[in-house]
Structure 1
């Protein structure tokens, strides 16, 4: 979750969209959520799924939520998702605190999660 794609979302907290169970289709984590947008034939999505699941298992109160981008085009468009995998790190209130496109490194996911909890 490095480079420009890994920067904190622009704007004050009140201006950032909040994603909850209704939008995500799953219950968010108590402390933070790792939201992954994937597609069926995406090789890097499989590796990303494994990395995010490992990190979520390491930290209490963190959920890994995978969303099929093709099934949720409404959410993809609303959030400006342009490729898969794209990972969003949400804080406990459901605000996006980091985002990155492409397969992340585990160490970068852990660092980004630190900004959310």
Structure 2
């Protein structure tokens, strides 16, 4: 994979293609990390760290940076239709489905807010993400025509839909209202 940062292309071998998108990094950020990793490679290798490639060092730096940034936040998994059916079938389930796509900027804007809410409200409901490009049948089933769209399910029944990006506090109020929170 080629990544570009500040007009310079760098070759990066990423072992897991979903790693970058799951961590919320874009190619520009990864390019900057690769560039910094190339500059630090001699110092790191001389200091006793052993990386087989610059890409390994870059990925470890990405993970460290992202883990620090997301410390304390719950990870929202992107699931498929089969996993969603399994979660819905659980008795007493309260599920928030975030319909989004990797190319959608408003979806990326609300990602952090939803992760924070998932961490704060983990006892009350689950938040999962559905990528509409990978599972269009689930999006069609819930009538998703625009993204980001958030769908609320209680005991397997569709109770409400919210279309568009919103501030974190609005999402919190919305979820607590429909799920009976104080």
The answer to whether TM tops 0.5 is yes
CA contact (8 A) 1:34 1:56 kept: no
Whole-Å separation in 1 of the counterparts to 2:133 and 2:86: 17
* Unaligned stretches of 5+ residues in structure 1: 1-20
- The Cα offsets for residues 76-106 of structure 1, whole Å up to 9 and x where unpaired, read as 1121101111111222x12222211111221
Whole-Å separation in 2 of the counterparts to 1:26 and 1:43: 29
User: TM-score, normalising length from structure 1?
Assistant: 0.68
Shift of 1:42: 0.5
Whole-Å separation in 2 of the counterparts to 1:97 and 1:116: 10
Shift of 1:22: 3.1
Runs of 4+ residues over 6 Å off in structure 1:
none
Where is the helix percentage greater, Structure 1 or Structure 2?
Answer: 2
CA contact (8 A) 1:37 1:87 kept: yes
Q: Which residue of 2 aligns with 1:109?
A: 171
Larger relative contact order (Cα-Cα within 8 Å, sequence gap ≥ 6): 1
CA contact (8 A) 2:98 2:150 kept: yes
| 1:41 counterpart SS class | coil
Asked if 1:88 is matched to 2:148, the reply is no
Whole-Å separation in 1 of the counterparts to 2:126 and 2:86: 9
Shift of 1:23: 6.1
- With 32-41 and 104-113 compared, the bigger mean Cα shift is at 104-113
- RMSD of aligned alpha carbons: 2.4
Change (3 A) 1:53 1:25: farther
* Unaligned stretches of 5+ residues in structure 2: 1-80
Structure with max Cα Rg:
2
Q: How many residues align?
A: 96
Query: Where do residues 5-20 of structure 1 align in structure 2 (5 Å cutoff)?
Result: none
CA contact (8 A) 1:85 1:103 kept: yes
